[in-house]
A and B are shown apart, each in its own frame.
Chain A
Amino acid sequence: MDFAVFWNFRAELTQAFQITALLTAIGIAGSLCLGAAMALAARGSHVAISVPILFVIDFLRNVPVIVKLFLFYFVFNLAPMTSAALSLVLHQSSYIADTFISGLRSVPREQAESSYSLGLTTPQYARFILLPQLLRQLAAPLKTQFIEVLKNSSVCMVIGIQELTFVTQEIEHRTFKGYEAAFGVTAIYLLLALAISAGTWLFLERKRHSA
């Protein structure tokens, strides 16, 4: 094994790391907001809204990321980064919406009724009753979904975004050291996944009782 290849490609790898991190951050933030919004709409009492939203969630889940990239990049002719960010957000928001729907379902309706009868407003109910329970239950599944964004960001190489997986292939093409490259880049991905895991713990799980 020849790991000097990493040092030779340090500039490319650093830049690729930044792009992967940026795409993952955009993907996590966007899909969390969109997913939560879709879950609330799907749990609402208006069938005319909830069923189409469920249909959209189901549609987004059943189409691979690579096909979404194809849509934005080849059919709509958007810029590569825009297509990548949109695809990642749309793809993961469907899974996050499903996570939120099952979380919302697990909180009994009686809790809402009792809090209203005790004089709590809707924002107070959401802040003090619903959210602490949701965070406790959803911390672990949401962590999985966030890591999934990181994993899916590697697919964006197919539209020419120079992130970590793209650089792996580039190293292989230029030096035939694909094995070393794949090994090292996997280590970087695992570190990023650990970082996401630690971040979720810091912001969601650690605060679970005081949120």
Chain B
Amino acid sequence: MTSRSANGLFGMQLALIAILVLILALGQYHIVMLNWRILLHGAGMTAGLTFVGYISGLVIAFGISLVRFYRLPIAAHGIGAAVEIVRASPQLMVIFWVYFGVPFLFKVNLSPLVAAAISLIVIASAYISEVLRAGLLGIPKNQFETAYALGHSFWQVQRYIILPQVLRNMYPALLGQLVMLFKISSLLYVIGVIDFYRAVNIMNNREYIPVEAFVLLILFYYCFGVIFVRIAAVFGREIKY
């Protein structure tokens, strides 16, 4: 894409956000504001769950990708099969497994919030592990050999040689996964978590203002995808790993 059309695209994105804000301001803005408490709660819940799921998922995914990259005898196949199953089944089914399955298997009571966090972590680690594994596979083999030859330990190689490159090369894909997780978190309300989508739904059921509700939803999810990611992409070039 040329820079001229990229600018055009960004202009249109900003124009859409401005139009949506205008629609909200000219519409039943005061009725929306009456429900600010639950909307704020929902927004915080979505952001918090996404954050927890993403950060924990990143850590677990790094472990998974190492196990699969080094082909540990049994673990690599077992974990590989689990990752493929999670990636091939609908996210709602993963949420159901956790919500119905964990209490059944381990005889514990799960609150919806904990179940939501666990299912997001499961989803995030499965998807991100594939990204990180692709990053690991993209690093030339002689870098590992050189690092070992220079006397680095296994974890030193991972920490100072491999991980920084994987994170830098895969930064766009990792940002994409963050947006994906943010969108997936909108499914969590099926097990009773009041996230932003559910909060807007509750407001709509109470007041019946579907247009304003829809504009709110679009603003929330679209702004995150466009503005946050654009800012993160700019800062990502300057991170020191």
Contacts and interface: CB of A to CB of B under 8 A. Distances in A.
Contacts of B16: 55, 59
A200 to B, nearest CB: 14
Contacts of A154: 90-93
B31 interface: no
Contacts of B13: 55, 58-59
A2 to B, nearest CB: 11
Interface of B: 1, 4-5, 8-9, 12-13, 16, 85, 88-93, 96-97, 99-101, 104-105, 179, 183-184, 186-187, 190, 197, 201, 204, 210-211, 213-214, 217-218, 221-222, 224-226
A47 interface: yes
A40 to B, nearest CB: 16
A155 B187 contact: yes
Contact of B89 (A74, A157, A186): A186
A189 B96 CA distance: 14
Interface stretch (A82-90, A107-115, A144-152): A144-152
Q: Which of B89, B218, B221 has the most CB of A within 10 A?
A: B89
Nearest to A54: B9
B179 A51 contact: no
A59 B17 CA distance: 11
A179 B104 contact: yes
Contacts of A71: 214
Given A165-B92, A168-B93, 14 more contacts: A59-B13, A63-B225, A67-B186, A70-B217, A74-B214, A75-B211, A154-B93, A168-B96, A179-B97, A179-B104, A182-B93, A182-B101, A183-B97, A186-B93
A77 to B, nearest CB: 9
Contacts of A151: 88-91
B158 to A, nearest CB: 29
B166 to A, nearest CB: 22
A205 interface: no
Given A64-B186, A70-B217, A168-B93, A190 B12 contact: no
B97 A182 contact: yes
Contact of A157 (B92, B201, B221): B92
Nearest to B200: A70
24 contacts: A51-B12, A54-B9, A55-B9, A58-B13, A61-B225, A62-B222, A64-B184, A64-B221, A66-B186, A70-B201, A70-B213, A75-B210, A150-B90, A151-B88, A152-B90, A157-B92, A169-B190, A172-B100, A178-B101, A179-B104, A181-B96, A182-B100, A190-B88, A193-B89
Given A157-B92, A179-B100, A186-B89, A63 B221 contact: yes
Q: Which of B93, B101, B187, B197 has the most CB of A within 10 A?
A: B93
A165 B100 CA distance: 13
A1 B26 CA distance: 56
Contacts of A47: 4-5, 8
A55 B15 CA distance: 11
Interface string A20-56: 0000000000000000000000000001001110110
Given A62-B225, A64-B186, A75-B210, A55 B90 contact: no
Contacts of B222: 59, 62-63
A179 B201 CA distance: 28
A63 B226 CA distance: 10
Contacts of B104: 178-179
Interface in A170-209: 172, 178-179, 181-183, 185-186, 189-190, 193
Contacts of B96: 165, 168-169, 172, 178, 181-182
A182 B89 CA distance: 11
Nearest to A57: B9
A52 B5 CA distance: 10
A190 B89 contact: yes
A67 B221 contact: yes
Contacts of B221: 62-64, 67
